[in-house]
Structure 1
C-alpha cells in the first residue's frame, strides 16, 4: 500500500456558522460542497478538504458528545491510497489484524470514490480511499 496524500480531515463542530466563517475568512478556504441533510459542509483547502460536521445534525449525533476539554473533535483522517484495490486492501489490513469497517462510495476532495473505514491502534478513525 502506498499513501499519496491527505484527502480530508473531519472536524465535529458545535457552531457551524462560526467555523465556516473562520475557515473562509481567516484561512481562505471555500465551501466546495454541502450536505445539509446530514449537517455536513466540505471546505476546499488546497487539494484537500476540511469537513465540518455539526454535532447537532444527523451525522453528528452518531458520533457521541460534542467536543469539550476531554472529548475530541476530530472524527477521522482520510488518506488517499495508490493502486486502490478493495479486496487486496481488505486482505492486507486483515493480515495485520485490522478490523475493516464499511466499504462504500463517499464524497471527498477528488469527488466520489470508494473508501474503507478502520481505526488505528489507539482508536483514531481512518478512512482509506482511491487516489
Structure 2
C-alpha cells in the first residue's frame, strides 16, 4: 500500500495556442470559473468543480518547458468532467448554441456509475467527456 490515499483528480494540463479563446470556451461552454493565474508562464487555471484545468499557452515565452504534442498525435485521450444531472436535450441545445459539435453520446460507466455522457472537443483538439451522474432504472 502506498503511504497516501487517493482523493480524486487535482488537475489536468492542456496545451493551447490562443488563451482568450481557451478561457472563453472553458468559461462559457463548460462553466469553469477563473482560478490561479501565472502570467510569467503564460498559464491560467480554471476551476472545474473541486479540480483544476490548467491552460498553458504554448505561444507564450514562459511555456518553453511545455512539451508540445506530436503532430497528429496526443498524449491524453480525454478528460472526463463529472456534472450534476442534466437533460440531454438541454445539453444538445447548449452545445449547439456555442457551435460545439458533439463527437458522440453514450450511456456507460464511470466513477459514479452508469450515466449519460457527451464527448466534445475544445478549440485546441482536446477531447472532453461531459458526464452526468449515475442514472438508475428504479429512479434512485
What is the TM-score normalised by the length of structure 2?
A: 0.46
Per residue, is there more strand in 1 or in 2? 1
What is the TM-score normalised by the length of structure 1?
A: 0.49
Larger radius of gyration: 2
